[in-house]
Amino acid sequence: MRFNFNTQDSGSESFVYRAIVVAGVAAVAAALLWILWHLKDLIPTVFATILLAVGWRGAGESLSKRFGLSIGISLALVALGLAGVVALAFSLFGGDLLKQYDEIAIDVPTAIAMIEGSVEAHPWGEFVEKLIAGVDFSKATGPVAMHIAAILTSFGSALAFAVFAIIGAAYLAADPDTHVSGLTAFAPAARRAQIARFLDGSAASLRQWLVIQVYVVLMNAVFAGVALWAFGVPAALALASISGALAFIPYFGSIIAIVVTALVALPHGLGTAALAALAVGGASFLEGYLITPFLQSRSLSVPPAVLLFCMLAFGTLFGSMGVALAVPATVVLAVALNAFKSADPT
């Protein structure tokens, strides 16, 4: 009688081989997740660099096509033009703007102190004060102080990241094809064309989104500035610039702008604070519900619910930078979903 163990041996070897492969893939995936987690502060900077490069390249290509210039000269002219606009704006409004920011730095703590005094003067405020009188906040002040110190010492890192983003964007904008080819080289040969199309589609969508955001920021700042000036709100120019900058962040940015504006105007009277909040809120309403939907309907649109969840997710993972970059990141994810969903499974 003969016994054949080849089938069993072959099955055992196949099982061991598959187990080793699965364990190796899991180990590599775990290592990549560990690396990404420890580099999570760098990921938003890299994405911001790509976003800046996409906008820079788009403006350079438009200038090159219109005037027949080389792409290198066009990119240099875009950079010089932007720097010139910033320098001109600072020379015209920089002095008044800095003075108004100093006023804001004084008015906000004053407004907070006024609110605290009003709460303490109210009967229910006294009740809350008695309720927390026995609570020891010494354990909380240490972490808060450390957090504030970390914020103050992070300005150097923020400046370094900004320089890195500008230099990296210059390289990416000057020669995007080389970087795209290097990225697609890591993909399987059958998917390289599809990934290249995804990258091109992402660049086009991000470019459209950037154009919309430029209009959004400028219009919000202009509307808010005119309304604040008409209502006689102090530091109107600074508050308008803050409102316009925060318009870059959907939903949450407008709320923060209204709160900051009301706090700045509160020391000058409750009526002034109400008018200031009305001015910024009205500007945000016109921009957010009339102009932005019209612009997005002609280019791209992200569902509000999806956008809110993505903002919360990116904010949890990457902090304030994640919130600010959540919309363009969602645009890229939407392009990726459409690209790979429509791909031929064969």
Please give the average per-residue pLDDT across 230-247, as a whole number: 88
Residue 31 identity: A
Please give the average per-residue pLDDT across 333-340, as a whole number: 80
CA distance 196 to 155: 37
By C-alpha distance, which of 337, 332, 339, 299 is closest to 46? 332
User: What 3-state DSSP class applies to 301?
Assistant: coil
The answer on pLDDT for 280 being more than 70 is yes
If pLDDT is split at 50, 70 and 90, which confidence band does 5 have? very low
The answer on pLDDT for 75 being more than 90 is yes
**CA distance to 96, 97, 104, 183, 184, per residue, from 92 (Å):** 9, 9, 20, 44, 47
Q: 79: which 2 tokens?
A: 């950079």
Q: 212: which 2 tokens?
A: 């919309």
DSSP letter at 291? I
CA distance 285 to 292: 10
The answer on pLDDT for 33 being more than 70 is yes
Please give the average per-residue pLDDT across 131-158, as a whole number: 47
59 vs 197, higher pLDDT: 59
CA distance 310 to 205: 17
CA distance 79 to 76: 5
* Contact residues for 264 (Cβ-Cβ < 8 A; gap 6+): 103, 104, 107, 108, 111, 234, 235, 239, 276
Q: 142: which 2 tokens?
A: 């240490």
Q: How much is the pLDDT for 78?
A: 92
> Over the stretch 289-334, which tens digit does the pLDDT of each residue have?
777 766 665 556 667 777 788 888 888 888 878 888 888 888 888 8
If pLDDT is split at 50, 70 and 90, which confidence band does 137 have? very low
> Over the stretch 88-99, which tens digit does the pLDDT of each residue have?
888 877 778 888
What sign results for the dihedral spanned by CA atoms 185, 186, 190, 196?
A: negative
* Contact residues for 159 (Cβ-Cβ < 8 A; gap 6+): none
Q: What is the mean pLDDT of the chain?
A: 78
The answer on pLDDT for 146 being more than 50 is no
Q: 281: which 2 tokens?
A: 């809120």
CA distance 226 to 215: 16
Provide DSSP, 131-178.
HTTT---HHHHHHHHHHHHHHHHTHHHHHHHHHHHHHHHHHHHH-HHH
Range among 4-13, 64-73, 108-117, 192-201 with highest mean pLDDT value? 64-73
Q: 346: which 2 tokens?
A: 């064969």
**With pLDDT > 70 as the criterion, what percentage of the chain qualifies?**
79
Do 196 and 264 contact (CB within 8 A), yes or no? no
If pLDDT is split at 50, 70 and 90, which confidence band does 139 have? very low
252 vs 121, higher pLDDT: 252
CA distance 281 to 259: 10
Do 300 and 208 contact (CB within 8 A), yes or no? yes
CA distance 22 to 64: 51
What sign results for the dihedral spanned by CA atoms 33, 35, 38, 44?
A: negative
CA distance 241 to 245: 6
The answer on pLDDT for 202 being more than 60 is yes
Q: How much is the pLDDT for 150?
A: 47
Nearest-5° Cα angle at 192, 189 to 198: 160
In terms of Cβ atoms closer than 10 Å to its own Cβ (0-12, 13-18, 19+), residue 75 is buried
The answer on pLDDT for 339 being more than 50 is yes
Q: How much is the pLDDT for 140?
A: 42
Please give the average per-residue pLDDT across 136-161, as a whole number: 49
Least confident of 94-103, 126-135, 270-279: 126-135
Q: pTM for the full model?
A: 0.74
Least confident of 36-40, 50-54, 89-93, 283-287: 36-40
Q: How many helices (H) and strands (E) does the chain have?
A: 15, 0
Q: 244: which 2 tokens?
A: 């316009």
Q: How much is the pLDDT for 10?
A: 56
